[in-house]
C-alpha cells in the first residue's frame, strides 16, 4: 500500500469516527450541544459590513443567519475566516440561538 493510500484511509476512518462520536453525543446529551444547522447552502448575503444577514437553505427550508460583530466565523478545520470570504453556494454550518419567526 502506498503512503497516499494509507493517509487517505486513515483520514476516512478518522472522519467516520468523528461523525459517530458527534452522533452519539447528540443522542445522549442533546442539552449540551448548541442549537444549530449543519450542511446548509448559502443562497444570499445581504452585505459585507456588519450587521448583515445570510440566508441559507436546508432540507427545503430557508433559514436566516444574523451576523453581528460578536459572530465568530471559522473554517471547517478551525482556522479563522471572515464574512468577505463567504459566497453564494458555499456549504456552512451554524450554531447559535434559534428565533422562530412563526413561518413554516
pLDDT digits (tens, 9 = 90+) for 14-68: 999 999 988 887 777 666 656 788 899 999 999 888 999 999 999 899 999 999 9
Please tell me the pTM assigned to this model.
Answer: 0.62
Q: Where are the beta strands (DSSP E) in 1-104?
A: 35-45, 52-58, 61-67, 91-96
For the cut 70, the answer to whether the pLDDT of residue 78 exceeds it is yes
d(CA 72, CA 92): 13
Amino acid at each position: 500500500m502506498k503512503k497516499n493510500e494509507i493517509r487517505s484511509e486513515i483520514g476516512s476512518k478518522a472522519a467516520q469516527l468523528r461523525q459517530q462520536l458527534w452522533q452519539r453525543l447528540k443522542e445522549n446529551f442533546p442539552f449540551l450541544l448548541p442549537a444549530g444547522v449543519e450542511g446548509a447552502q448559502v443562497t444570499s448575503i445581504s452585505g459585507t459590513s456588519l450587521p448583515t444577514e445570510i440566508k441559507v437553505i436546508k432540507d427545503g427550508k430557508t433559514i436566516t443567519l444574523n451576523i453581528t460583530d460578536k459572530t465568530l466565523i471559522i473554517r471547517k478545520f478551525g482556522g479563522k475566516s471572515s464574512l468577505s470570504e463567504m459566497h453564494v453556494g458555499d456549504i456552512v454550518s451554524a450554531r447559535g440561538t434559534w428565533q422562530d419567526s412563526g413561518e413554516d
